[in-house]
């Protein structure tokens, strides 16, 4: 029997740089995660996904790996990782590492060798192309971090491909040696006890070998797009499954930026032996103007109807065909109370309302560090931000193409930029939020004095306690894992409601995702049901939901 532990699990993501610093260098580290294992055990999570902590020049905070087999000294030693895995296992917590298999750092010895000549062992580890006759790039592909996706190398007199920064060259998955090299890394960490993998932009690994220009409706110099679900993607992922995931029984969750639920069915259908789960981006686009030249920086108020539609579409389409990964926050997303809720008047209520609708769904919920205490976006100035994605897109959109004003860009950054989630974890109200005794690598959100783990746990409105209850519900009630899902009130602009049903049991999960009181007739149909969880202490008039009120009801 396959051990599908992840189906009843809640997984916690640690962004190590910002989690907890034990040696006062201002940077979170592996001993810091170890030191907080009891905290995570108390929360009740089953596994920790650790964002990359391998040797890296940190151009993209570790998503640019120079040596997959070595822990970066800033995070500790390999022995710290091994100790962390052992200590976590002692507490019954599994460890998921982050595999960045689409690209490496340009400081990887693989790339350093590859760029030396056209005929060494590593020459074809990356994607090299000759310039066009006029010396320009092989095609119009744009990098996610601005500019061309191609950079010219003086030694080889060729361009190499990079979907992200120029310091993040894409690996050539057409080369079987590359694929084996990656599988080997996965075996290496398995030998040290790792339980599974989160796979960075795994849907980008297969490139269209004709390298055609992208469509260019906005007449740009370089166009970002068509990076995902390439011709051999399924073949490569299946091979990885057969070579390492299956034989070593490792869990897998792939990042799948442009996949729709019908693509997901191919990626996660157990019969196909590819991945266990994928992270969709679709539901995270409900506050983006579709088709806008400014991409994700073109924000609009979030659309609750669309959010429900998208999440329900994934619930229905994967039912019987694969497993969902459920998330609202991670290191690339903003804080939900600030982005979609109300972080001023209803921080506790909106944090817990969104948590309720997410954790009630069928799938494996992921919690991002700080989400469990309702951390919020810092309202930074442009000069405070660190992220390469933000900086390069500012240059491109504001300075070069001038498609968005600086003030609108800043407005968008305060809502959706990745840095919103990367400020240090707020542990207590001492200096630097108890994150470090030194100077933090990134500014702490000034609201740490009131918003921190120590204060939250003591509060009568504790987000942590609410998450703890949600996790317990999942562990104790098979209906959350197995129950049928049905979306209710699909057209309601404020209410997110659905039922789950299993074995004669029926639950209603319902939340008001607005900051005004809502009359909900539907609740009358559930008048005989018993409240099993809710984010308001006092009772209410029947069939009214207060701002961001959420509850789970159960038939008797
Ligand atoms: C993924 C990561 C993100 C990184 C990118 C390139 O989207 O989550 O943080 O910048 O891949 O590796
Ligand atoms: Ca440190």
Q: Which ligand is nearest to the CA of 327?
A: 1
Tokens of residue 23, six digits: 């040696």
Q: Which of 531, 460, 474, 206 is nearest to 355 (CA)?
A: 474
pLDDT, tens digit, 9 for 90 and up, residues 160-211: 999 999 999 999 999 999 999 999 999 999 999 999 999 999 999 999 999 9
Q: Can you tell me which atom of ligand 1 is nearest the CA of 103?
A: 12
Testing ligand 1's pocket by substitution, the residue of 145, 200, 368, 422 carrying the most ligand atoms inside 8 A of its CB is: 200
CB 226, CB 142: distance < 8 Å:
no
Torsion of CA 355, 356, 361, 366, to 10 degrees: 20
CB 337, CB 345: distance < 8 Å:
no
How long, in residues, is the chain?
556
User: What kind and span of H or E run contains 484?
Assistant: strand 484-488
- What's the 283 CA to ligand 1 centre distance in angstroms? 18
Q: Which of 300, 353, 299, 291 is nearest to 328 (CA)?
A: 353
Q: How far apart are alpha carbons 183 and 513 in whole angstroms?
A: 44
- What's the 328 CA to ligand 2 centre distance in angstroms? 28
Q: Which of 16, 29, 31, 22 is nearest to 83 (CA)?
A: 31
Q: Which of 180, 175, 201 is nearest to 103 (CA)?
A: 201
Tokens of residue 38, six digits: 């009891």
| Residue 213: DSSP 8-state | P
Q: Can you tell me which atom of ligand 1 is nearest the CA of 64?
A: 12
Testing ligand 1's pocket by substitution, the residue of 164, 224, 253 carrying the most ligand atoms inside 8 A of its CB is: 164
Maximum distance among all Cα pairs of the chain, rounded to whole angstroms: 76
Beta bridge partners of 552: 509, 533
pLDDT of 1 = 53
User: CB under 8 Å to 30, separation ≥6 — which residues?
Assistant: 16, 53, 71, 75, 76, 80, 81, 84
- Domains detected in the chain: 7-101+176-467 (3.20.20.80), 109-161 (3.90.400.10), 484-554 (2.60.40.1180)
Q: Which ligand is nearest to the CA of 35?
A: 2
Query: For the stretch 203-220, what's the b/e string if a residue is b when 16 or more beta carbons lie within 10 angstroms of its beta carbon?
Result: bbbbbeeeeeebeeeeee
| Radius of gyration (C-alpha) of the chain in whole angstroms | 23
- What's the 423 CA to ligand 2 centre distance in angstroms? 15
Q: Which ligand is nearest to the CA of 387?
A: 1
CB 393, CB 145: distance < 8 Å:
yes
Its pTM stands at: 0.98
Number of alpha helices (DSSP H) and beta strands (DSSP E) in the chain: 15, 20
The runs of H, that is alpha helices, within 294-365 are 304-318, 336-339, 347-359
Task: Decide the pairing of beta strands 530-534 and 550-554.
Answer: antiparallel
- Where the chain has pLDDT below 50, the residues are none
Pocket of ligand 1 (CB under 6 A): 60, 63, 100, 164, 200-201, 255, 331-332
- What's the 451 CA to ligand 2 centre distance in angstroms? 23
Query: For residue 47, which phi and psi values (nearest 5 degrees)?
Result: -150, 155
Rounded alpha-carbon distances, angstroms, from residue 47 to 5, 101, 200, 363, 373: 10, 22, 18, 15, 18
- What's the 331 CA to ligand 1 centre distance in angstroms? 9
By alpha-carbon position, which residue is closest to atom 2 of ligand 1?
200
- What's the 72 CA to ligand 1 centre distance in angstroms? 18
Q: Can you tell me which atom of ligand 1 is nearest the CA of 257?
A: 7
Query: Which of helix, strand or coil describes residue 103?
Result: strand
- State the catalytic residues: 200, 255
| Residue 49: DSSP 8-state | E
Q: Can you tell me which atom of ligand 1 is nearest the CA of 163?
A: 6
Q: How far apart are alpha carbons 450 and 262 in whole angstroms?
A: 44
Testing ligand 1's pocket by substitution, the residue of 14, 201, 256 carrying the most ligand atoms inside 8 A of its CB is: 201
| Residue that is written with structure tokens 């299993």 in the block | 502
Q: Can you tell me which atom of ligand 1 is nearest the CA of 330?
A: 8
């Amino acid at each position: 029997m396959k051990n599908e532990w992840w189906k009843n699990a809640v997984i916690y993501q640690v962004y190590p740089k910002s989690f907890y610093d034990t040696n006062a260098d201002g940077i979170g580290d592996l001993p810091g995660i170890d030191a907080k294992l009891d905290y995570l055990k108390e929360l009740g999570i089953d596994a920790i996904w650790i964002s990359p902590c391998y040797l890296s020049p940190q151009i993209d905070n570790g998503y640019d790996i120079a040596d997959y087999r070595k822990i970066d000294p800033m995070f500790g030693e390999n022995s710290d990782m091994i100790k962390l895995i052992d200590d976590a296992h002692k507490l019954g917590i599994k460890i998921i590492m982050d595999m960045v298999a689409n690209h490496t750092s340009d400081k990887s010895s693989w790339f350093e060798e590859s760029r030396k000549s056209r005929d060494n062992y590593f020459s074809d580890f990356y994607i090299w192309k000759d310039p066009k006759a006029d010396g320009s790039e092989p095609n119009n592909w744009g990098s996610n971090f601005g500019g061309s996706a191609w950079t010219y190398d003086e030694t080889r007199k060729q361009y190499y491909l990079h979907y992200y920064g120029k310091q993040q060259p894409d690996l050539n998955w057409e080369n079987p040696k590359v694929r084996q090299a990656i599988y080997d890394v996965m075996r290496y960490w398995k030998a040290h006890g790792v339980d599974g993998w989160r796979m960075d932009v795994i849907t980008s690994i297969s490139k269209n070998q004709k390298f055609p220009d992208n469509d260019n409706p906005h007449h740009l110099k370089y166009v970002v797009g068509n990076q995902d679900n390439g011709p051999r993607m399924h073949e490569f992922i299946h091979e990885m499954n057969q070579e390492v995931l299956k034989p070593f029984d490792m869990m897998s969750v792939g990042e799948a930026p442009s996949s729709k639920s019908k693509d997901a069915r191919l990626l996660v259908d157990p019969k196909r032996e590819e991945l266990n789960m994928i992270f969709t981006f679709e539901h995270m686009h409900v506050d983006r103007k579709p088709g806008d030249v400014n991409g994700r920086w073109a924000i609009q108020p979030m659309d609750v109807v669309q959010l429900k539609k998208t999440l329900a579409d994934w619930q229905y389409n994967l039912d019987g065909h694969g497993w969902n990964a459920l998330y609202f926050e991670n290191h690339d997303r903003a804080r939900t109370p600030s982005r979609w809720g109300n972080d001023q008047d209803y921080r506790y209520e909106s944090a817990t309302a969104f948590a309720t609708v997410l954790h009630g769904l069928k799938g494996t919920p992921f919690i991002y560090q700080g989400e469990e205490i309702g951390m919020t976006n810092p309202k930074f100035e442009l000069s405070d931000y660190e992220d390469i994605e933000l900086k390069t897109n500012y240059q491109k959109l504001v300075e070069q193409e001038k498609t968005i004003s600086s003030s609108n860009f800043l407005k968008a950054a305060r809502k959706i930029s990745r840095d919103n989630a990367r400020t240090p974890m707020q542990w207590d109200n001492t200096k630097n939020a108890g994150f470090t005794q030194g100077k933090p690598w990134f500014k702490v959100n000034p609201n740490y004095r009131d918003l921190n783990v120590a204060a939250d746990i003591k509060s009568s409105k504790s987000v942590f306690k609410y998450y703890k209850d949600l996790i317990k519900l999942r562990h104790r009630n098979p209906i959350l894992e197995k129950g049928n899902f049905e979306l209710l009130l699909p057209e309601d602009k404020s209410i997110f409601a659905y039922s789950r049903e299993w074995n004669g049991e029926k639950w209603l999960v319902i939340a008001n995702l607005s900051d005004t009181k809502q009359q909900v007739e539907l609740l009358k149909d559930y008048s005989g049901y018993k409240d099993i969880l809710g984010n308001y202490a006092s009772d209410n008039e029947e069939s009214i939901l207060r701002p961001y009120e959420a509850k789970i009801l159960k038939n008797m």
